[in-house]
Amino acid sequence: MVDRPPPASAPAPTPPTGPARAQIVVNGAARVVADGQPLPDLLAELGLRPGSVVVERNGVAITPSELSGIRLADGDTLEIVRAVAGG
Amino acid sequence: MSQAPSGRAVPASEWSRPPGPALSGAVEPVESDELVIAGRSYGSRLLVGTGKFAAHEVMRDSLLASGAEIVTVALRRVDLDRAGEGDVLDFVPPGMTLLPNTSGAADAAEALRLARLGRAATGTGLVKLEVTPDPRTLAPDPIETLRAAELMVADGFTVLPYCSADPVLARRLEEAGCATVMPLGSWIGSNRGLRTRDAIEAIVAGAGVPVIVDAGLGVPSDAAEAMEIGAAAVLVNTAIAVAADPVRMARAFALATVAGRLGHLAGQAGTGTATAASASSPLTGFLGALGTPANGNGRVAG
C-alpha cells in the first residue's frame, strides 16, 4: 500500500546555517537533505542498493535510467518501494 | 489373440509379437502447445505467485520445480529501518518473466500508480491488475478493475486482470484491451478449488483472449479440472507455498496442469447417467461356460 498520506509529523528540526537545505518527505517521514542532492546519494545514505528499489517522486514513477539525473528539491515527496513476495 | 488350448492361459511371454514403442514415464507436453499472451509465447501454462513461502530458498526451488515462466511479485513501501533485508528478486531464477501485481490497490487510481512502479521495477509492461477493496473476501471490485484496465491499456500496459467469474465482465475487460482475463476459482488463499466452474466454462466459451484461472485452486486436481474445461492457464500461489513440501507440490501442480491441458485437447468423452453403465468390453463372443450350459444367455460384461 503506497497511497497513504504521510502521517502528520512535527516539522524537521531547523538545520544549522550552511548550504541550502531542502525539506522532503520520504515514505511518509519528514527529512532534511541538501538542496539539489542527487537521488542516488540519498538511496545510498539510506542503505539501499540501487536497482533494488523503485522511487516515485511527487506521484511519478522514476525509471532506473532516469534515476541518476534526479536532484532533490524542497517539498519533494518520495515513495521508495521494492518488489516483495506476493501473489 | 492368444488361444486357450485345453483351458490353459498362454502367458504373454510365449506370444510372438513385434516390439512396440518404448513406454516411458514422460509427462512433459508431447506436442508444441504454447500459451500466447499479447503475442509472446510461453511453454508453461502454470503461473506461480511468490507469496507466503517460509523462506526465499524454498520459493526459488519451488519456482524451478513448477516449471513456471511467469511469476508474480507485489510492490510495497521499503521499511527504511530494515533497508538491508533480502531482495526477493535475487531468488527468482533468471529467465522467468516477472508479473508485478497491484495488490493493495483499493481503486483504479491506486492500481495505475502501482502498475507504473511495477513497470519501473521490472522493466516490463506486464501487470497483474487487482483491485480488492474488501478486506474480508479480497473479492475484486469489477467496476474499479474495468476502469483501471482502461487506464492501463491507454498507458501501454499488457494487462492481466484478476476478476470475478463473470462472463459479462470478462467480455468487457477483453473489449477494453486486456491481454487475458483471470477469473477466480474461489477466494484468494482459500484453497477451496473451482467453485466457479460453470461461470469459468461460460467465460471460456465466450473469450477471445486466454482465460487464466487465478485464486483458490487448492490441490493439483483443481488445476487439472480448470485446464480440462478449457482454461488457458492457471495461477497458483498459496496451495504451493503453504504445502508441507512446497517443492513437491509445485511439481504436482505442474504435472496436473499438463494433464488437464492434454485432457482438454484430447476431447472429453460424453458423460453418462447416474443409473446406467455403458459397457467398455464387448457384449458378444463370451467364452463357453465351464460346467454350465454354453449358451451365454444372461451374461454381462464390464
Q: What is the CATH number of the domain that holds B230?
A: 3.20.20.70
- Examine residue B212 and state whether it is found in any structural domain, yes or no: yes
Cβ neighbours of B63 in A, within 8 Å: none
Q: What percent of chain A shows pLDDT beyond 70?
A: 79
Residue A83 and residue B52: Cβ atoms within 8 Å? no
Beta bridge partners of A83: B75
Question: Is residue B48 within 8 Å of residue B233, measured between CB atoms?
Answer: no
Q: How far is A54 from chain B (nearest CA, A)?
A: 6
Q: Has residue B284 been placed in a domain?
A: no
Confidence of residue A51 (pLDDT cuts 50, 70, 90): confident
Chain B within 8 Å of A84 (Cβ-Cβ)? yes
Measured between alpha carbons, how far is B125 from B122 in angstroms, rounded to an integer?
8
Domains of chain B: total: 1
Q: How far is B266 from chain A (nearest CA, A)?
A: 31
Chain B hits for A61, CB-CB cut-off 8 Å, are 113, 116-117, 119-120
* A56-84: average pLDDT: 93
How much is the pLDDT for A52?
86
pLDDT: which is higher, A3 or B166: B166
With CA atoms as reference, the chain A residue closest to B236 would be A87
d(CA B50, CA A85): 5
The domain in which residue B180 lies consists of: 44-76+90-266
Of B226, B231, B164, nearest in space to B239 by CA: B226
Residue in chain A lying closest to B98 (CA): A83
Q: Which chain A residues are closer than 8 Å to B53 by Cβ?
A: 85
The SS3 of residue B167 is helix
B108 is in an annotated binding site: no
Q: Supply the pLDDT for residue B299.
A: 59
| Residues of B labelled as active-site residues | 128
Residue type, B116: R
Residue of B nearest to A29 (CA): B80
Is residue B237 in some structural domain? yes
Of the candidates A27, A61, A86, the beta carbon closest to that of B78 is on: A27
The answer to whether position B95 is within a domain reads: yes
Q: pTM here?
A: 0.82
Partners of residue B59 in chain A, C-beta under 8 Å:
85
Q: Is residue B7 part of a domain?
A: no
With a CB cutoff of 8 Å and minimum separation 6, the contacts of B266 are none
Searching chain A, which residue's CA lies closest to the CA of residue B189? A87
Assess A61–B contact: CB distance below 8 Å, yes or no: yes
> Is the ipTM reported for this complex over the cut 0.85?
no
CA angle B27–B33–B36, rounded 5-degree value:
130
Parallel/antiparallel/unpaired status of strands B158-163 and B212-214? unpaired
- What CATH number was assigned to the domain covering residues A21-81? 3.10.20.30
Backbone phi, then psi, for B37, in 5-degree steps?
A: -120, 115
Q: Is residue B253 part of a domain?
A: yes
pLDDT of residue B31: 61
Higher-confidence residue: A52 or B210? Answer: B210
Q: Residues of chain B whose C-beta is under 8 A from some C-beta in A?
A: 49-53, 56, 59, 72-78, 80, 83-84, 87-89, 98, 100-101, 103-105, 109-110, 113-114, 116-123, 188-189, 215, 235, 237-238
Give every residue of chain B whose pLDDT is below 70, as ranges. 1-7, 12-13, 15-31, 83-85, 290-302
Cell 525509471 -> residue: A63
pLDDT at A15: 55
